[in-house]
A and B are shown apart, each in its own frame.
Chain A
């Protein structure tokens, strides 16, 4: 008799979560989200960064309710199952930088691990290259973990501190609803509204979105399920390499199967390499970008989705990682590091090399003596 009680701790729970995410992502795309981007944690945080005015890429600015829902869904699950624990203090600045470089890598590839899986499920062959890079990055991270890498223990902190991230998400939700639905548009507030945030794309991926409450509702469910099951794309790869453990991987495989089936049913499957939506074919940098992300995620202990779910259950260190990602998105677009469908930005390759170097320094220099 296992002491892992309940559906959520079981392989069935993990598979169900993966299937739900995959199918939901395909449906969100059908309902308006950008192609092969039904869900993309990195892209959606980047869109939020744009909406807040942290970068000037006018085509990727929107307050994505999916991100808000992930955090709040996790919060609800954590409160309901008495797992909300405010904690912080495990090398926050290092986690910030890891989040920063994880985002830079993701924007060179054009997607987080979730979107890499969804791109694969939509027929985008470049995703295979990206996922190979992700696995390579995680494998390097595992080498560091094996040699004693650790960011150290977090400490319990004030409950209110654990609520900061959920409260920030509620504020973002109010900003979104106020500007899009409640008529509190900035054009009523400012003489020159184009100068002030929030910014919403009029064309490009940022202008493509599913109905707000559908996105929010789906994301709340995903946040809830993922908090319960500890779904994590990076952890899936890491656990296979580090411990030959398939539990998390079963959810990732289910995500791909769910999304693939839904994409086929909805006519969203287009196999090929060239001309894929919001993607480029610079293989070296698809690989390199995701390798940087994979290494940064491995060193931080979670993929960007997992960091959101952790931040919803009171983990201040995960919240700092998310903030690093959002700031990283601003830098990636402001300093021409982010890719476009035409290929990597001017400084994208250099940023990948710099980011990998920084991560290797972190990995080598932050090891505990056995």
Chain B
């Protein structure tokens, strides 16, 4: 009997013992291939699998997870879930109604051109090896690396209300890194691709131009002057904007953070519930959307762990904060409209409020026109250092690669560029956004107790911010 059939039988037999019974099974295969200086730097496969049972008792939800998928393991997990949830319901934080779970059926699959297993491990190693070979352009370059994590995830959720949905994810996180030394200075240039994608990502025609660009740029960096300290304009590339959106918009808008669940770990939020509909988060050019159904981005899916269907919503519209990142559970607690963001890293962790794809909408200006409008500024690309406070106000970000712009012209490369600011005042300095966007993401977004890493996507245009402290 298949595991899904056994789980259906289990739910039929046990559903009357609790107010709600849900079971999620997850199997994730991750293959990591790494090449450094044309030699293998490691090859691994991980197959992680298990089940998570969720029960509602006395209006409190509790979980038990196990890698033991036998009938014995399932019954033991159910026993733990029932006993602990019933016992702890006397101290529950909130009495939930049944509406925190949605009855759903359906299937989601990542849209890909070629299945990930259509290339052998040896073939992928060869493509990555050729990338490191391409980086070997000068004696100053001593570290050349290409690596990929290839992820295939299957998850199925069933529950006592007749829900049955499955999602199949095909993910690649690919890093190209080149490092060069001049005297005592070492500079790094890198490119990261993290997408829901198939084996088509390993096309040489895609990877070689990226490799050539970062190789050229690292050689520029080792002879470049250090970025000067000043207040000036900055143009931020989409790969750095991904982090800017993630840290200064995504996390502070998570409703479970605003409600205080996260205070002992990642922190609280400067945003209060009464700010929704009122706070001018940024200039009128700022439009941020929650878009879990967007094709190819890392955080795409059809259903969150509560069964809510993923739909696009504006979080910030024309600069005004209009909606938060709150699941059905957070919606009951806060009386705010929900989004489908109740996500868990895997079968062994409970779902919480997370980002999915959080995107900044593009504008109408070509990048060259934006550059031409800058009198004095720095164009920053690719994050290398990030830090923000526990309320998500004061941030400091460092980038790998900077370009000095004066009188509308690019004047040369600068190294070690950093900028800092305060979230809302920074977004209120957003002066222009380009008509072209890049798609990036965060392969590892950490949050929660117990700790969880989750994958989220960010699409963004190039952005111009005025009067920023750069150093």
Partners in one complex: no
A contact set with B: CB distance below 8 Å: none
